[in-house]
Amino acid sequence: MKACVPLILAMLCGLAWAGKMESCASRCNEKFNRDAACQCDRECPWYWDCCDDYQHLCTVEEDPKEPEPFLELEEEMEEEMEEAPASNLYSAPDSCRGRCHESFDRHHPCHCNARCPEFGNCCEDFESQCGHEGFSHSSDAITTEELKAISEKIYRADTNKAQKEDIILNSQNAISPSETRDQVDHCPEPLFTYVNEKLFSKPTYAAFINLLNNYQRATGQAEHFSAQQLAEQDTFLREVMKTAVMKELYSFLHHQNRYSSEQEFANDLKNMWFGLYSRGNEEGDSSGFEHVFSGEIKKGKVTGFHNWIRFYMQEKEGLVDYYSHIYDGPWESYPDVLAMQFNWDGYYKEVGSAFIGSSPEFEFALYSLCFIARPGKTCQLSLGGYPLAIQTYSWDKTTYGKAYVVSSTR
């Protein structure tokens, strides 16, 4: 049977970046235009390259009288990430009385549409006013508030993360989103000035690093694992399952009736992360772990490669050249988030968001949480009081009974 395959890892923090040189007039919802200085497609908020007037021109074109049963994820995320000036906010009622089936409006303090339970922004009387309309919240659904709560627990449980003194980062020059396609090296020095490599002797780090050289980075070439490499996958899963981070995640998912035992959970993680699928013409040339953490080359470009340990080790070997960044997260300790540009042994990565200073189990836990709870949707989290979202997309090219983890690129 075909299953839905989430494409994970478009991390979004802070405000959507906007282009400075063009307008969205007559361009709303057009396809991505590489030659344009800024974009007006539905995905531009994720890539921080919208034109200045995108929100004004392209998010209010729908007929307000037309029912909108499903909330656009772009609109929801912009609501979470942007603060409109107080003078521009419409003082909408805080009740769902007479508002069931209404279209989503970012200026309303609470909502009454079919998907507000999923995003945790319904008005308090949503159930009583709209429950008879078939909108009642399923007891099996994981709410946004629950996702934020468990992500904060995972954040606090990451005792294996780097401390401030363990990493000296040299982020150097930031560029605008419109400059990311220029492939210009704006940073003459490496990103990492210092990393305390004693971190890498910790069991989960060591097991993680052992996996990184098990893959051919070019898509279209089938992966073949030796018995030792398969054993290394099991070792990694065994070590991460011992950590407080993964125990928090399992406890949460067990409480949500997603898994009945830790072994069932571990088995599912192995299938979704290490199961092979095809990104090119060859069967079994890729996996979620390879793509997200190790990185791949497809059609002359870097895809995936979202891990700071991998980046540091490749930079140390002279295989990665850090070019610039367009976003540096608000966290004053690790883990932090950086959206950067770099060259990997002759291939360019236009925008690669990555945690910095997190343990392998922390990233593994958050991406797995979003894969399970929000397949094909936005996963809104909270880390140390700051919002972060992981966007998932769907892909149905699999015969695995559930789904594989894959990563998104534009």
Average pLDDT over residues 64-70: 28
Distance separating alpha carbons of residues 263 and 261, to the nearest angstrom? 5
Select the highest-mean-pLDDT range: 116-120, 239-243, 404-408.
239-243
Confidence of residue 313 (pLDDT cuts 50, 70, 90): very high
Residue 316 CA to residue 212 CA, distance in Å, equals 15
Q: Residue 199 CB: number of other CB atoms within 10 A? A: 18
CA distance 321 to 256: 43
Under DSSP, the state recorded for 138 is P
Of 189, 386, 202, 392, nearest to 288 by C-alpha is 392
Rounded to whole angstroms, the Cα distance separating 390 from 396 reads: 20
**Within-domain flag for 83:** no
- In this predicted structure, what is the pLDDT of residue 18? 31
Tokens of 194: 């210092």
Number of domains in the chain: 1
Q: Is residue 75 part of a domain?
A: no
* Amino acid identity, position 181: R
Number of Cβ atoms within 10 Å of the Cβ of 266: 17
Q: Residue 89 and residue 125: Cα distance in Å, rounded? A: 22
| Helix, strand and coil percent figures for the chain, each rounded to 5 | 35, 20, 45
Amino acid found at 331: W
Indicate which residue of 111, 298, 306, 325 is catalytic: 306
Provide the residue range defining the domain that includes 351. 150-407
- 51 pLDDT tier (thresholds 50, 70, 90): confident
- Is 306 annotated in the active site? yes
Q: What is the pLDDT of residues 102-112, one digit of tens each?
A: 766 767 788 88
Confidence category of residue 158, pLDDT binned at 50, 70, 90:
very high
Look over the chain and give the mean of its residue pLDDT values, rounded to a whole number. 78
| Separation of alpha carbons 386 and 388, rounded Å | 7
Higher-confidence position of 152 and 177: 152
Does residue 349 carry a catalytic annotation?
yes
User: Are 324 and 333 contacting, i.e. CB atoms less than 8 angstroms apart?
Assistant: no
The single-letter DSSP state of residue 103 is P
Residue 61 forms part of a structural domain? no
Strands 296-298 and 301-303 turn out to be: antiparallel
pLDDT of residue 133: 53
Decide if 287 contacts 233 (C-beta within 8 A).
no
Tokens of 224: 């073949």
Read off the pLDDT of each residue in 87-97 and give the average, rounded to a whole number: 49
Higher pLDDT, 261 or 87: 261
The active-site residue out of 108, 298, 349, 377 is: 349
CB neighbours of residue 132 within 10 Å: 10
**Distance between CA atoms of 260 and 271, rounded to whole angstroms?**
17
Nearest to 272 by CA among 153, 403, 377, 82: 403
**Given the residues 291, 298, 325, 377, the one annotated as active site:** 291
pLDDT at position 166 is 98
CA–CA distance, 290 with 404 (Å, rounded to integer): 12
Task: Report residue 242: phi and psi, to 5°.
Answer: -80, -15
Answer whether residue 320 is part of any domain. yes
Q: How many residues does the chain have?
A: 410
Residue 228 is predicted with a pLDDT of 96
Q: Is residue 176 part of a domain?
A: yes
Q: Where are the alpha helices (DSSP H) in 184-294?
A: 203-211, 227-241, 244-255, 262-274, 288-289
Asked, for residue 366, whether it belongs to a domain, the answer is yes
Judged against a pLDDT cut of 90, whether residue 219 lies above it is answered with no
Number of C-alpha atoms within 13 angstroms, CB side, residue 245? 24
Residue 396 class from Cβ within 10 Å (0-12 exposed, 13-18 middle, 19+ buried)? exposed
Query: Out of 2-16, 48-62, 210-224, which region has the weakest mean confidence (pLDDT)?
Result: 2-16
DSSP label of 290: I
Check residue 59 and give its pLDDT: 66
Task: Give which of 173, 93, 161 is closest to 125, Cα–Cα.
Answer: 93
Amino acid identity, position 180 = T
Indicate the residue type of 9. Answer: L
| Cα 228–chain centre separation | 31
In a domain, residue 165? The reply is yes
Q: Does residue 358 belong to any structural domain of this protein?
A: yes
Whether residue 406 has pLDDT greater than 60 = no
Q: What is the C-alpha separation between 90 and 60, in angstroms, rounded?
A: 14
